Amino acid sequence: MEIIKTKRFILRKMNLGDARDLARNMNNWNVVKNLSQLPFPYELKHAKQFSGKMEKEMKKEKPGDYVMVIEIDGEVVGAVGAHHVELGHKAELGYWLAEKHWGKGIMPEAAKKFLTHIFSKFKLHRVCAYAYVQNKNSMKVLEKIGMQFEGICRKYAIKDGKFIDVHLYAKVA
């Protein structure tokens, strides 16, 4: 099993057993409002469906999605994922963190470790990430992990029936 340990947290593959922690920590509007495809309220049934899907996906030889959870003191408090993975080419980075852990530098540290891991594991040449224009903290995370601003994608996302501009960041090998 792939595990990345630091002094403050563990990064490990997501599994169905993570559902309760996921539901508890993602059922927060301040977290969900900046994530494009999550419902609110975020309930246990959503967490079970997602974690079960990811557990199966990550067992594949060529996963399209690869997600690791951030575990602190035995609790899943966030996740970092590579989506739309094209082996030997590119992927899209996504992440979230429980609000109680914001502002502690956990997400930049976790995202940087994860980014290094996926570049190597999947032999990637490019990883991109999107941040809603109002999500300045996410943009700071992306800059801290060495991603470069590439531009604004107008009306790229839809959240609650509204079109949202996003900032596009990327890192190339």
The CATH number of domain 3-125 is 3.40.630.30: yes
pLDDT above 90: residue 140:
yes
Instruction: Give counts: helices (H), strands (E), the chain.
Output: 5, 8
Three-state DSSP class for 60?
coil
Closest CA to 90 of 111, 119, 61: 119
Query: How confident is the model over 104-115, as a mean pLDDT?
Result: 97
pLDDT above 60: residue 136:
yes
- Mean predicted lDDT score pLDDT of the chain: 94
Model confidence pLDDT, tens digit, residues 18-74? 999 999 999 999 998 988 778 889 999 999 999 989 888 888 888 899 999 999 999
Q: What tokens were used for 15?
A: 């599994």
Model confidence pLDDT, tens digit, residues 73-83? 999 999 999 99
Closest CA to 101 of 13, 8, 11, 33: 8
What is the reported pTM? 0.93
Domain range list for the chain: 3-125
